[in-house]
């Protein structure tokens, strides 16, 4: 191949639309042609971005409003100065002159006369650099042997203490998940160490020896996120990926998004790892000697399972509004689901929001069965001990209470008429326009017929003591919007009732 490869041919090759022989010839040519190698890398980065763009919501632009604002701003400027802005003086007389010739020259002298008042040009104030603000992370899940700054902490202290710059985490046969934003978290795997070298609003730098899984929300222009693993540094702008560093080298696996791998301190040479790809950099080898290859289906499944846990509803007062929940199973190493989300094998402790949470545990065949529920109060530790669940549990049954703030109890049984009355109050008091606004984005994409199944308890005074979404096919942000709309329904005094209800949206 004597000529350079056109960029669109690289796009066809990456999309799998070219024969294997032709792709091999193009790769062979790029190995000796720096220009084609750079073109391939640019096309590769663009191709890896497409899956992320498909997941983004279409922006809603009020074009009529924009046109009205532009028209008003221009009209206001004209009225303030008495004439046209400077930028238009050069070409406006020519256009008006042409129009005047066509119209018989009427009024040309008024439109081309010299301005009597000079327009005012606003001066932009110089940007002032804002100093970086320290941020903190909170433990969201912990299991097994874990140390924080060289000490083993009890569950209460672990979930209340914010962690910041300088913190060192270490695991034996255990795992710890930390959250530092609504959609930003990381999890340190077994037999690993991690240092929070920098942790502020501008720069986050983590140093890892072992395995760390990360979910990073998109960074702003001035924010940087680094993971230092041996001789390699991984930088991301927003993605889900994992880094494993040991004596043999560093493995970077990207589930979605794009990460850049470079040698420590270097910026000129980097290796891009895109969606569903991985790259391994052996110890003592240059970054340029490695390349990104596709992940297998099994590796993608593993990344989905090991994703860090992020508790919904993140806010600055998160530690005070939530509580730790210890989950213990009668048979160790049984998988557990809480509110329909699988959170690993028991025993473990997690951060939970106040309310009643449904808990399921896997039996010996791996089938999830209802184990009971637990009530969690804000800032009060709770505990759940799942009993033997080898036989199907009766509907509404729960394990006997084991004490503590999160003891398990059965839902009070109400008469059919009381439940029917409360259901009618829920339906009539629900703001359906607000629900429509919650699901508007999905409806515009053609996704209709969605649902939520709720578990709700209303006492005799009409107060809602429990409101949980136990099953839904909505995204987490939409489900939270629906939950907030349901929470605003007001009930009157009457019979206490607890029930489950499925709402189609």
Superfamily name and number for 416-504: TonB (3.30.2420.10)
> pLDDT tens across 58-86, in order?
554 444 445 545 444 555 455 455 544 44
Query: For the residues 205-226, what does the mean pLDDT come to?
Result: 93
pLDDT band at 394 (very low <50, low <70, confident <90, very high): very low
DSSP 352-372: E-SEEEEEEEE-TTS-EEEEE
C-alpha dihedral sign at 108, 110, 113, 117: negative
Beta strands of 53-153 (E only): which ranges?
138-148
Q: 148 near 166, Cβ under 8 Å?
A: no
Instruction: Indicate the helix (H) or strand (E) that contains 257.
Output: none
> pLDDT tens across 231-242, in order?
999 999 889 999
DSSP 259-299: EEEEETT--S-EEEE-TTEEEEEETT--GGG---EEPPHHH
Strands 249-256 and 259-263: unpaired
Q: What is the pLDDT of residue 480?
A: 85
Neighbours of 3 (CB within 10 A): 8
Range 322-386 classified under CATH 2.60.40.1120 = yes
430's tokens: 């629900």
Query: For the residues 48-57, what does the mean pLDDT come to?
Result: 59
In the chain, the percentage of residues whose pLDDT exceeds 90 is 32
Closest alpha carbon to 283 in 363, 229, 350: 229
Strands 203-216 and 224-229: parallel
CA-CA-CA-CA torsion for 460, 462, 467, 470, nearest 10 degrees?
60
254 pLDDT above the threshold of 60: yes
Q: What is the pLDDT of residue 55?
A: 55
3-class DSSP state of 174: strand
Cα distance between residue 38 and residue 351, in whole Å: 46
Structure pTM? 0.56
Q: 339 near 324, Cβ under 8 Å?
A: no
100 pLDDT above the threshold of 80: no
Cα distance between residue 236 and residue 383, in whole Å: 38
3-class DSSP state of 298: helix
Instruction: Please report, for the chain, the start and end positions of each structural domain, with discontinuous segments joined by +.
Output: 7-51, 70-110, 138-305, 322-386, 416-504
Q: Which residues contact 96 (CB under 8 A, 6 or more apart)?
A: 108, 111, 112
441's tokens: 């984005």
Q: 319 near 158, Cβ under 8 Å?
A: no
Cα distance between residue 443 and residue 353, in whole Å: 29
Bridge partners, 270 (sequence order): 262
* HSE value, Cβ hemisphere, 13 Å, CA-based, for 267: 1
Cα distance between residue 235 and residue 252, in whole Å: 11
Query: For the residues 363-377, what does the mean pLDDT come to?
Result: 83
Same fold, 138-305 and 322-386: no
Q: Which fold has domain 138-305?
A: Jelly Rolls (2.60.120)
Of 73-77, 191-195, 404-408, 443-447, least confident by mean pLDDT is: 404-408
Q: 378 near 321, Cβ under 8 Å?
A: yes
Cα distance between residue 344 and residue 349, in whole Å: 10
Q: 236 near 216, Cβ under 8 Å?
A: yes
């Amino acid at each position: 191949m004597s000529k350079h490869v056109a960029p669109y041919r690289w796009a066809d090759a990456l999309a799998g639309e070219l024969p294997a022989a032709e792709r091999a010839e193009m790769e062979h040519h790029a190995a000796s042609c720096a220009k084609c190698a750079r073109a391939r890398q640019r096309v590769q980065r663009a191709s890896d971005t497409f899956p992320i763009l498909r997941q983004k919501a279409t922006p809603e632009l009020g074009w009529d409003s924009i046109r009205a604002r532009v028209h008003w701003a221009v009209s206001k400027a004209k009225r303030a100065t008495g004439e046209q802005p400077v930028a238009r003086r050069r070409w406006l007389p020519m256009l008006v002159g042409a129009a005047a010739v066509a119209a018989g020259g009427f009024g040309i002298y008024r439109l081309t006369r010299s301005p009597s008042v000079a327009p005012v040009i606003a001066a932009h104030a110089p940007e002032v650099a804002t100093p970086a603000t320290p941020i903190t992370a909170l433990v969201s899940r912990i299991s097994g042997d874990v140390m924080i700054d060289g000490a083993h902490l009890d569950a209460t202290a672990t979930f209340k203490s914010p962690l910041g710059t300088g913190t060192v985490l270490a695991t034996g046969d255990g795992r710890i998940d930390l959250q530092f934003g609504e959609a930003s978290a990381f999890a340190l795997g077994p037999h690993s160490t991690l240092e929070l070298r920098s942790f502020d609003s501008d720069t986050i730098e983590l140093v890892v020896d072992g395995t760390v899984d990360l979910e990073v929300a998109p960074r702003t222009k001035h924010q940087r996120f680094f993971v230092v693993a041996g001789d390699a540094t991984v930088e991301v702008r927003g993605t889900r990926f994992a880094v494993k560093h040991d004596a043999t080298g560093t493995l970077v696996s990207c589930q979605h998004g794009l990460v850049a791998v470079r040698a420590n301190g270097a910026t000129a040479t980097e290796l891009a790892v895109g969606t569903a790809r991985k790259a391994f950099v052996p110890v003592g080898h240059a970054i340029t000697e490695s390349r990104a290859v596709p992940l297998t289906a099994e590796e993608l499944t593993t990344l989905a399972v090991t994703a860090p846990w992020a508790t919904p509803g993140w806010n600055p007062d998160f530690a005070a509004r939530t509580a730790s929940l210890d989950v213990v199973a009668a048979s160790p190493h049984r998988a557990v689901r809480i509110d329909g989300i699988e959170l690993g094998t028991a025993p473990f402790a997690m951060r939970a929001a106040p309310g009643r949470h449904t808990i399921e545990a896997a039996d010996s065949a791996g089938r999830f069965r209802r184990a009971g529920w637990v009530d969690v109060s804000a800032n009060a530790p709770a505990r759940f001990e799942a009993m033997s669940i080898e036989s199907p549990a009766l509907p509404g049954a729960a394990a006997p209470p084991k004490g503590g703030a999160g003891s398990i109890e059965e839902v009070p049984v109400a008469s059919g008429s009381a439940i029917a009355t409360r259901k009618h109050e829920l339906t009539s008091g629900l703001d359906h326009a607000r629900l429509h606004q919650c699901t508007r984005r999905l409806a515009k994409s053609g996704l209709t017929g969605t649902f939520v199944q709720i578990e709700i308890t209303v006492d005799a005074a009409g107060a809602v003591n429990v409101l949980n979404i136990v099953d839904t096919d909505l995204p987490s942000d939409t489900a939270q919007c629906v939950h907030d709309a349901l929470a605003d329904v007001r009930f009157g005094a009457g019979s206490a009732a607890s029930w489950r209800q499925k709402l189609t949206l």
